[in-house]
Chains A and B, each alone.
Chain A
Amino acid sequence: MANNLLSSGKFLLPFLISWGIWIIFHASFIYWSDFDLSIAVVDSLIFNVTLASICFLQLFIMQFYLPKREKTIYIILTGGIIALIVTFTSSYILMLLFKGDADYISFITKSNPVRIGIAFLLSACTSMINILITTLETQKENVLRKHEAEKLSKEAELYDLRSQLQPHFLFNSLNSISSLAGSKPEEARNMIQQLSDFLRGTIRKDNAQLIVLREELNHLNLYFEIEKVRFGHRLKTEIVFDEECAEMKIPSLLLQPVLENAIKFGLYDTLDAVTITINAHKQNNDLIITVTNPFDNQTSQPTKGTGFGLNAVQRRLYLLFSRNDLLQTQSENNIFTTTIKIPQPK
């Protein structure tokens, strides 16, 4: 238990004040028992300062050693030992100091059991309060740590779910650049530029971060441009959005896997030219994004298997917004439509 009342510092003042009050109380009691004020004050000081010092020492020791179990026995045992030591030491000193006063000497002897009791109670109380507060602090810390761990794992999961760069996309693009470098060096440079901008956008973005739609669409457009170089005339794209949506928020890179799917099923499942559209509009303060791509329902079954690989997007939306109804898909007349609803931050 590294964590202790002593280390927190907050405890020292209440500790001293309580002892101060108790010292005054003790002195008053002896004074009212018909002894001189000087005797009363010295008695109280010697007894209580010794007790307080030993209790303080006890707290200090507890900082390094506190049994995990058997706490009660530990408190009773140490409390008892402390009580005996403090009482007999302080009584001995007091008897030496006031050996001329026979009344007081006999009072000390008679009051020793009471003193033992009081010392025991006070030391045990100090220990118990210490344990209690330490336990509470530890618990509080645990809750905090657990919360922190949950947050971390959520972040990690979000990181996993975020579109990871497809290695074959990268290698195929590099191959196209290699081809252009021989025949059309200027276009090769242009494609390197686009690929770099795209990669920069992929690396930089924070998982939970919301960016404006305009920025996300710019990023996706880079992706489309690179794919168009690769697939030539076969790929056509259409991005349509209302001006009022441009500044609405969207989790960064959310649409990337949706487009990868659209391209995968659009381009790899048909032989003709393929048009992929992205449409964004506002509806009841939500941002609605629709992506469509053609597919061949003869050879691919979008409802089966990977479900067009959109599970990761669904899960990410759930982690961010705690809702499961934000992603919808439908396939009709060889057109596959993905609709995503993004609630806007208040």
Chain B
Amino acid sequence: MIKVIIIDDEPLARGIVREYLEEHLDIEIVAECGDGFEGVKAISTHKPDLLFLDIQMPKITGFEMLELIEEKPSVIFTTAYDEYAIKAFDINAIDYLLKPFNKDRFEKAIEKWKATRHPIEDKQIEAAAAVIENDNQPQRVVIKLNNKIKIIPFNEILFLEAAEDYVFIHTAEGRYMKHKTMIFFENALDKTQFVRCHRSYIVDVQQINRLEIYEKDSHVAILKSGAKVPVSKSGYSRLKLVLGV
């Protein structure tokens, strides 16, 4: 049996996918979810082969939800927003169904999946998610923390620290690990507030209490929270530029 999960915040929209799937006796709907939080849980429980996924949903978008999943299934997007189509194909989605879609169109998507069955690709999801965030969405980052999902608005970030493939996000509440690159954050964050002060650090300038000389050619930023952030020579000149000194 092929396991499928439908994730959409509108019950009727889930209904139509369910109805179209009825004839496919080899496909079983193992779960239906109304938002991304339920989606993450259901995916880790059922390990589905295929997702039907809406993009605009409460709290976290479909793209953000995909970021949180480790073993990614194949994805067919169902949405009324055609502006996300290109991004959806970028992350190697099977297909992109524009609402409303008829049965023929739906069948084509299923056939396409049966022909390839490729899962969604990890590395480009963040780019897709960034597109939505630019689209007047609140600026934030979504993190999976044990069994909970944590949403961190960008303005709660004190500083970021690079570590191999990960970035540690430091907030007043603690430190969170996110599988993203420094370049992503450098581009996504407001450049007048967040400065790449070091190869491995991005700091919120509003959090800086003072700058001290550390060694020859390097400084250290002391934040209001007391945390210390290294500042390189080139980072120091970038900081001075933003601070206007």
Contact = CB atoms under 8 A, between A and B. Distances in A.
A201 B151 CA distance: 40
B12 A301 contact: no
Contacts of A229: 12
Given A268-B57, A270-B58, A271-B58, A230 B138 contact: no
Given A171-B80, A172-B99, A174-B99, A301 B155 contact: yes
Interface in A158-189: 167-168, 171-172, 174-180, 182-183
Given A168-B81, A299-B151, A175 B16 contact: yes
A300 interface: yes
Nearest to A191: B12
B10 A183 contact: no
B16 A298 contact: no
Contacts of B56: 168, 268
Interface in A267-301: 267-271, 296, 298-301
A301 B16 contact: no
18 contacts: A167-B80, A168-B81, A171-B98, A174-B99, A174-B100, A175-B13, A176-B10, A178-B100, A178-B102, A179-B15, A182-B19, A232-B10, A267-B9, A267-B58, A270-B58, A305-B138, A306-B136, A309-B136
Given A269-B59, A301-B153, A179 B9 contact: no
Nearest to A174: B100
A74 interface: no
A179 B101 CA distance: 10
A231 interface: yes
From A179, A229, A231, A298, name the one whose CB has the most chain B CB atoms within 10 angstroms: A179
B3 interface: no
A245 B56 CA distance: 37
Interface of A: 167-168, 171-172, 174-180, 182-183, 229-232, 267-271, 296, 298-301, 305-306, 309
Nearest to B35: A271
A183 B19 CA distance: 9
Contacts of A167: 80
B58 A171 contact: no
A301 B154 CA distance: 11
B16 A271 contact: no
A301 B138 contact: yes
B140 interface: yes
Nearest to A169: B80
Closest 6 CB pairs of A and B: A171-B80, A175-B99, A179-B16, A175-B100, A179-B12, A168-B80
B138 A300 contact: yes
A268 B140 CA distance: 15
Interface of B: 9-13, 15-16, 19, 35, 37, 56-59, 80-81, 98-102, 136, 138, 140, 151, 153, 155
A171 B100 contact: yes
Contacts, number: 78
Contacts of B100: 171, 174-175, 177-178
Contacts of B9: 231, 267
A24 B155 CA distance: 93
Nearest to A172: B80
Contacts of A232: 10-12
Nearest to A181: B16
A301 B37 CA distance: 21
A345 to B, nearest CB: 35
A295 to B, nearest CB: 10
A62 to B, nearest CB: 60
A178 B155 CA distance: 42
B12 A175 contact: yes
A232 B58 CA distance: 14
Contacts of B37: 271
A171 B136 CA distance: 20
Given A182-B19, A299-B153, A301-B153, A230 B81 contact: no
B59 A299 contact: yes
A298 B12 contact: no
A177 B15 CA distance: 11
Nearest to B20: A182
Nearest to A176: B12
B13 A176 contact: yes
Given A268-B57, A268-B58, A299-B140, A183 B153 contact: no
B12 A180 contact: yes
B153 A298 contact: yes
Nearest to A171: B80
B136 A230 contact: no
A249 B138 CA distance: 36
A178 B153 CA distance: 37
A135 to B, nearest CB: 53
Contacts of B136: 305-306, 309
